[in-house]
Structure 1
Amino acid sequence: MTDSVQLSSQEARNRQVVIDFYRHVFDARNPAAVKDFVAEDYRQHASHVSSGRAGLEAFVAETFHGLPQLPVQPDLMIPPAFIVAEGDMVVIAGEFPQPEPEDPTRTYPFFVFDAYRVRDGKLVEHWSGINKIAPPKPPR
């Protein structure tokens, strides 16, 4: 039996802010759209991105340097494995298959997450499941 949790209207809005942020910024490769979704005092807990809105804009610009901007699509390019909203927090996780170290023709499922705190319709804080871009090593 699956329990169903009803989101408050604020939690539903916070969830949609995160989805729209990904659609307009990352899926569309548009660093200029960061200002529409991120507060100036944005606090970043991922070591590979600087805090503040400008730090995130720079990260997005560097990530998509030389690539054309894309039109905003109605749905996320990579559907989330799950997205959870509770209070002012939203956690989104996605699957990004990685090449097997011993056999690069095969992949294994690699899940990453981002957690955001939302205030007044803007992202104000971020935690990432990745601090270094590297797949996990198997246990010894």
Structure 2
Amino acid sequence: MSKTSPEQNKALVIEAFNTLFNQRDYDAAERFWSDKYIQHSAHIEPGRDGLFNLVRSIPDTLHYEHGLILAEGDYVIVHGRFTGHGRPAAWIAADVVRMENGKLAEHWDVLQDEATQTESRSGLPMFGNRFPA
């Protein structure tokens, strides 16, 4: 069990994601991810190095923005959008993170391409309150 509260865990995840994905400060990001980090994502190599190497391979235009974030105990779920990764559509992600001792210790995700207004059968955006431009 972590020594941090759910509110602290939410703040740590947001700061970690911003540091890695937006600032691309790998040295600073190391302090947020456990050196024993467990990665369950199908498209990311194992461990912290797998994640960092993936981010290094994506264009410097990568940008992450978070939306809804929930936390219970050691688990944080954040709904976010990744843009600028060099693919035609943004990625909408639900990231599930298990925290341990104030660090991101384990990760699962669900990713899908963001639908345009024309593609959306519901007529509603997948992230935020407007469709991508």
**Structure with the greater alpha carbon radius of gyration:** 1
Question: Where does residue 103 of structure 2 map in the other structure?
Answer: 122
Report how many residues are paired. Answer: 110
Q: As a proportion of its length, which structure holds more strand?
A: 2
Unaligned 5+ runs, structure 2 = 122-133
- Deviation, 1:77, is 5.9
Judged with a 3 Å threshold, the aligned counterparts in structure 2 of structure 1 residues 84 and 129 are, in CA distance, closer, same or farther, namely same
Q: What is the 5 A alignment of 1:27-106?
A: 27-64=22-59, 67=60, 78=65, 80-95=66-81
> For 2:99 and 2:24, how far apart are their aligned partners in 1?
22
Question: Where does residue 12 of structure 2 map in the other structure?
Answer: 17
Normalising by structure 2, report the TM-score.
Answer: 0.67
1:15, 1:84 within 8 Å by CA — same for their partners in 2? yes
Residue identity opposite 2:45 in structure 1: S
1:31, 1:58 within 8 Å by CA — same for their partners in 2? no
Judged with a 3 Å threshold, the aligned counterparts in structure 2 of structure 1 residues 35 and 45 are, in CA distance, closer, same or farther, namely same
- Deviation, 1:138, is 8.3
- Deviation, 1:95, is 4.6
> For 2:51 and 2:14, how far apart are their aligned partners in 1?
17
- Deviation, 1:127, is 0.5
Residue identity opposite 1:81 in structure 2: G
> For 1:86 and 1:53, how far apart are their aligned partners in 2?
23
Q: Percent of aligned pairs with the same residue?
A: 30
Normalising by structure 1, report the TM-score.
Answer: 0.64
Q: Deviations over 1:37-71 (max 9, x none)?
A: 1011111111111121211221121124xx38xxx
